Amino acid sequence: MKKLRSRITTDGLDRAPHRAFMRAMGLDDAAIAKPMVGIVSMKGEQTPCNMTHDFQVAAAKTGIEEAGGTPREFSTVSVSDGISMNHEGMKFSLFSRELIADSIEAVVHGLAYDALIGYGGCDKTLPGVMMGMVRCNVPSIFIYGGSSLPGRVDGRTLTVLDSYEAVGSFMTGEIDGATLERIERACLPTIGACAGQFTANTMGMVSEAMGLTIPNVSMVPGVYAERAQISRRAGRLIMEMLERGGPLPRDIVTRKSLENGAAIVAATGGSTNAALHLPAIANEAGIAFTIDDVGEVFARTPLIGNLRPGGKYTAKDVYDIGGAAVVIQELIRSGHIDGNCITITGRTLAEEYGAANAPDGEVVYAASAPIMPDGGVAVLKGNLCPDGAVIKVAGLKSQSFEGVARVFEDEEACVAAVRDRSYKAGEVLVIRNEGPVGGPGMREMLGVTALIYGQGMGEKVALITDGRFSGATRGMCIGYVSPEAFVGGPLALVRDGDKIRIDATNRRMDMLVDEPELAARRRDWKPRPPRHRAGALAKYARLVGQAPGGAVTHEGPAEWPWFE
């Protein structure tokens, strides 16, 4: 074992005050002399997604102590995407990803911890923790806290998406208030993250495909006792990694492992948010991996996961047939995942997942007979999105749409129109000024997309935005349009009545307006004033980049040479 970073805080006469603080926390001489292992989680009462962390963190502490380390627990923030949805609070969701990574850097380096175990639960916590791990580049293990169990009403399996869409169904008279209430009360029966292949479960699988976590753990439900065993194992494993000096996060995060992460998103019809998070993780490792790179992987990877929202099944169903290992091994076998990439265990993906169960043909299909020959998520280009846009195509009956634009300057205006049902089939609803800078914070639009779907209009209209979508969004919904309208992107030039053509099969999205007219509109365009002039969001808006690079607030890897 190389010299411990933590010795900068524990060794020598002049560290007597430092040791005094440690003794005040109950550490004795033996504990102070051992490696200091940070454990970060978001346990608290902001969201059910993170409430599984408490018993798992306790188990990780036991594992660390058994293996000769001293665990040091600390917390970071979490913004519930579900509770912040469809109001101003959602502007803090993507922002919290950066805050999580920054806070991990502050504690791990500020207190000179030797290693790190990081827990994720609600959507942005997973990439935020992975970004923090890669930035700090100490021996690290990522642990996803697990999803909730699905609910049931009248023999029908439910996730929280059903409650969102039920609101729209109630508005049309398709269901009554009593049914809406029954769905509300039944759709989330336990703590844990959302049960479908939404953002949390998607990024949990990504952590496996990239090798950043213990193999085949992401689909274990958050309330299962097995998760305590996983965390205890993680505590022992982190001490082994510390003893041998790695592998370090930047040894694991390579272009190939990032491509593996993108492949599992496409193969499972996962969250469009992964198109933001993978470039952001890559940025922390100093790797140029943009939305274009993600899109190339999406296009060549078959859809084999029959998972909600585009399919039928939940994370619990994947667990029941053998876990994420079923998907990963099938993609290794078919050549869509590189099995030579290293994992935290020091073994390759191929070595770790070689004994996985074969696809069952219902929850997970064989790559040779996929649900779709290309991925469940696609990156589009065109004169409306020259730098890219993202759509989830899994579950779509048609991958093309042509209609006339109906423009809204923010999410609230569109939601009002949808609630009033003052829109009609054939329209392309355009929500702009919701990008990373313009929002600021790139709000998710699940509230409005679920209302549309619940009203039975999910494939009769399209929705385009420079904001984001929840992993639970389905329908003809294109987000992450870049450049965003606020900085003068083409979305700012769209007017009511413009024809827009979406062709997801050929990865295109264009407004059918001739170039002289667009040039005239560009000359007339004037930037809007910023929505926030002080506070955290104002600071974020000054720093954040565009979606293709991950909407990050700094470029390149952080270096800490004095810890080398």
> Catalytic residue numbers?
470
CA–CA separation, 106 and 433 (whole Å): 32
Task: State the DSSP H helix or E strand holding residue 240, giving kind and residue range, or none if neither.
Answer: helix 226-244
Phi and psi at residue 36, to the nearest 5°:
-95, 120
CA–CA separation, 244 and 241 (whole Å): 5
Q: Is the peptide bond before 309 cis (omega within 30 degrees of 0)?
A: yes
* Mutual angle of helices 125-136 and 274-284, in 10-degree steps: 10
> How many residues are recorded in the chain?
564
| 88-114 b/e (C-beta count within 10 Å ≥ 16 → b) | eebbbbbbbbbbbbbbbbebbbebbbb
Q: Which residue has 């039944």 as its token pair?
A: 186
SS3 502: strand
SS3 40: strand
Structure tokens at 75: 């917390």
Kindly write down the DSSP assignment for every residue of 371-440, as one continuous string.
SBSS-SEEEEBSTT-TTEEEEE-TT-S-SEEEEEEEEESSHHHHHHHHHTT---TTEEEEE-S-STTTTT
Question: Do 538 and 532 form a contact (C-beta atoms < 8 A)?
Answer: yes
Kindly write down the DSSP assignment for every residue of 437-455, as one continuous string.
TTTTS--B-HHHHHHHHHT
Residue 523 CB coordination number (10 Å): 7
Task: State the DSSP H helix or E strand holding residue 141, giving kind and residue range, or none if neither.
Answer: strand 140-144
Half-sphere exposure of 246 (CA within 13 A, CB side): 10
Q: Is the peptide bond before 440 cis (omega within 30 degrees of 0)?
A: yes
Beta bridge partners, 405, equal 428
Question: Do 115 and 140 form a contact (C-beta atoms < 8 A)?
Answer: yes
SS3 37: strand
CA–CA separation, 410 and 486 (whole Å): 11
CA–CA separation, 202 and 69 (whole Å): 32
CA–CA separation, 133 and 107 (whole Å): 12
Phi and psi at residue 326, to the nearest 5°:
-60, -45
Whose CA is closest to 209, among 325, 122, 377, 374? Answer: 325
